Amino acid sequence: MAACSFRRSIASQLSKVLDLPPENLIKSISAVPVSKKRHVADFQLSIASIIENSSSDCLAQDLHLQAQQLAERLKCDSVVSAISAGPGTVNFTVNRELLAKTVLQQVWKDGSEYGVKSELFSTVPRQKAVIEFSSPNIAKKFHIGHLRSTIVGNFIANLKVALGHEVVRINYLGDWGMQFGLLGVGFQSFGNEEKLKSSPLQHLFEVYVQINKAAEDENTKKLAKDFFRKLEEHDEQTLSIWKQFRDLSIEEYIRIYKRLGVHFDEYSGESFYQEKAQEVLKMLEDKGLLQKTIKGTGIVDLSEKKDLSTFSTVMRSDGTSLYITRQVSHLDLAAAIDRMNKHSWDTMIYVTDKSQSNHFQHLFQILKLMGYDWAERCQHVSFGLVQGMKTRRGEVIFLEDVLNEVRSRMLQNMTSTKTTKEIQDPVETAEKVGLAALIIQDFRGLLSSDYQFSWDRALQSRGDTGVFLQYTHARLHSLEQMHGNAELTDVNVACLQEPDAISVLQHLLRYDEVLYRSSQDLQPKHIVSYLLTLSHLAAVAHKTLPVKGSAPDLAQARLCLFHAARSVLANGMKLLGITPVTQM
């Protein structure tokens, strides 16, 4: 990584002056974010971070003074061309030609691995992560929460894979429980084999809605109970009906996820853990953790004083699953234990909305009480709620509705703009650009914050949107097409001294730090704002540093700069789950 060699060089000089090992200093030296208003240095050292146990009573003026004193003891060399003191920082400017040469070479050489090969990650052990995300309920709505879970889980998985970790992507379906009793009975009355095969998700949902209207009827209730009891007893005919519902639903899900650019290694579900869940109940009983209420409900006491001030219900008196009540069910416990046995993971991440935070806290607590220390390596990544996402047909019921809506709106926008050239596959392009718009709108803030969804805002072509990222990528791509690909071998970097070129180079320098931040807190927003800034800087440079009509030396150097910007933009977009388009 380009930044690494510069950080190391600065650290080695500092280590001599401060008499500290360079390794301790590297994390305190960071690339400076580009500022619109003024010219900035390339790196800064934070004084506070290197003072041992620096307590907050270190006054700002003391830090400033220390920064000035340190700056005076340092010398410029072949790498650093200027050193100055700022408020509590020492700022370093790298030799301009060296900056251009190092950054461009590194982006060129590392390609899609630029940034992830940085030594910032050298202390991070390669791990195996299991990530459970998306997880819709068969025959029920695929609501916006499932969509968020899908794109957030996919981002976390992409990031971990890029950083060299092994990832298992699991979709844990709601594929069991009393609702399948109702669904089975409903299908006998309202079902249609043809419709089931051609659009299973929609048909099962319609059947479920219809039978629910009759669910109060005593006879229907009894039939549904019988159907589910037969399922639990593994009656062959009943099981084969259920299996058909499940298999056809998964086939359709796979097709739709593919449009989103998402795949799973495993489609698991509550149905897998019926027997194992009984074993879990027995373990809880043997360890004296399971208590029965008067009604016969199974609970686990989670209170400090063992006074039941907090407890978790793990099973209903009739033995049915608790998924619907958002309590920790014995199924969830069985699933967690089974995954450990099967995958022996280092970390397991559940991606769901924040209303389920208690559920996961309880799940992890019970696992610990059962003696599973690995429960501490389980993590719940939660996100806020999205208000106001509607399609023209009304409320969102199926994921496919959202994808079709974003595609048709984007197509409409593209056909109405004058700049849209004739492109080979407008429908495909509209879908990719539309998805970028959805993902960027979703990832711009902290995951835990709620937000109001707006089609118009998401699909704007100007401003901080996914459409703008795609547009920038397509523009830079066509620039390369028009002028032939840049060759790095004979680039005269002395040509790249304009402020707008330097800004792009400085920004490319920071990419590894941004990836590192996202890898630490699993928030995509750091990468999003980085890519939006990169696109704005590239757009300015595109205006002020023309390739066309410039001297060959200059044109070639600028082409290289734009190639590097496009390469990093594409890498970042792919991590977020966006497919970059080459024309629009």
**What confidence tens digit (pLDDT) does each residue in 438-494 have?**
999 999 999 999 999 999 899 988 889 999 999 999 999 999 999 876 677 778 999
Binned at pLDDT 50, 70 and 90, residue 272 comes out as very high
- What CATH number matches the domain at 2-94, 2.70.98.60, 3.30.1360.70, 3.40.50.300, 3.30.450.20? 3.30.1360.70
Element (H, E) at 195: helix 193-198
Secondary structure letter of residue 113 according to DSSP: G
What's the token pair of residue 341? 């046995």
Nearest Cα neighbor of 584 from 456, 363, 428 is 428
Give the list of residues 6+ apart from residue 407 with CB closer than 8 angstroms, or none: 427, 430, 431, 434
What's the token pair of residue 184? 């089975």
Ramachandran category for residue 78: left, alpha or beta (phi over 0 → left; psi -120 to 50 → alpha): alpha
The yes-or-no verdict on residue 344 having pLDDT over 80 is yes
Q: Tell me how far apart the alpha carbons of residues 274 and 388 are, in angstroms, rounded to a whole number.
A: 37
Nearest 5°: the CA angle 361, 286, 321 is: 50
Q: Tell me how far apart the alpha carbons of residues 178 and 321 are, in angstroms, rounded to a whole number.
A: 8
Token pair 């039941």 is found at: 308
Cβ atoms of residues 107 and 564 within 8 Å:
yes
- Residue ranges per domain, the chain? 2-94, 128-278+329-387, 399-576
pLDDT at res. 370? 95
Q: Tell me how far apart the alpha carbons of residues 222 and 485 are, in angstroms, rounded to a whole number.
A: 71
pLDDT at res. 555? 93
pLDDT at res. 420? 56
Grouping H, G, I as helix, E, B as strand and the rest as coil, residue 447 is coil
Grouping H, G, I as helix, E, B as strand and the rest as coil, residue 528 is helix
Cβ atoms of residues 265 and 154 within 8 Å:
no
Binned at pLDDT 50, 70 and 90, residue 528 comes out as very high
Ramachandran category for residue 19: left, alpha or beta (phi over 0 → left; psi -120 to 50 → alpha): left
> Contacts for 409-415 with beta carbons within 8 Å, 24 or more apart?
409/434, 409/455, 409/459, 410/434, 410/437, 410/459, 410/467, 413/459, 413/461, 414/584
Nearest Cα neighbor of 108 from 563, 525, 426, 451 is 563
If 0-12 CB within 10 Å is exposed, 13-18 middle and 19+ buried, where does residue 224 land? buried
pLDDT at res. 490? 74
The yes-or-no verdict on residue 80 having pLDDT over 90 is yes
- What CATH number matches the domain at 399-576, 1.10.730.10, 3.40.50.880, 1.20.1370.20, 1.20.1250.20? 1.10.730.10
Q: Tell me how far apart the alpha carbons of residues 579 and 326 are, in angstroms, rounded to a whole number.
A: 35
Give the ranges where 510-581 is alpha helix by DSSP (H).
511-521, 525-544, 552-576
Return the active site residues.
Answer: 140, 143, 146
Residue by residue, DSSP assigns 13-54 as HHHHHHT--HHHHHTTEEEPPP-SSS---SEEEESTTTSTT-
Q: Which residues of 116-152 are buried (b: 16+ CB within 10 A; e: fewer)?
A: bbbebbeeeeeeebbbbbbbbbbbbbbbbbbbbbbbb
The yes-or-no verdict on residue 294 having pLDDT over 90 is no
Within 10 angstroms of residue 53's Cβ, the number of other Cβ atoms is: 4
pLDDT at res. 56? 53
pLDDT at res. 179? 87
pLDDT at res. 374? 98
Q: Tell me how far apart the alpha carbons of residues 518 and 522 are, in angstroms, rounded to a whole number.
A: 5
Give the list of residues 6+ apart from residue 80 with CB closer than 8 angstroms, or none: 9, 10, 13, 92, 93, 94, 95
Nearest Cα neighbor of 112 from 564, 547, 509, 562 is 564
Amino acid present at 144: I
What's the token pair of residue 399? 């994921």
pLDDT at res. 393? 77
Residue by residue, DSSP assigns 211-237 as HHHTTTSHHHHHHHHHHHHHHHTT-HH
Mean pLDDT of the chain: 91
Q: Do domains 2-94 and 128-278+329-387 have the same CATH topology?
A: no
Q: In the CATH hierarchy, which fold is given to the domain comprising 128-278+329-387?
A: Rossmann fold (3.40.50)
The yes-or-no verdict on residue 317 having pLDDT over 70 is no
Element (H, E) at 271: none
Say how many Å lie between the first and final Cα of the chain, rounded: 32
Binned at pLDDT 50, 70 and 90, residue 421 comes out as low
Which of 252-266, 314-328, 346-360 has the least mean pLDDT?
314-328
The yes-or-no verdict on residue 319 having pLDDT over 60 is no
Within 10 angstroms of residue 403's Cβ, the number of other Cβ atoms is: 18
pLDDT at res. 330? 85
Grouping H, G, I as helix, E, B as strand and the rest as coil, residue 418 is coil
The yes-or-no verdict on residue 142 having pLDDT over 90 is no
Q: How much helix, strand and coil, in percent to the nearest 5, is found in the chain?
A: 55, 10, 30
pLDDT at res. 134? 96
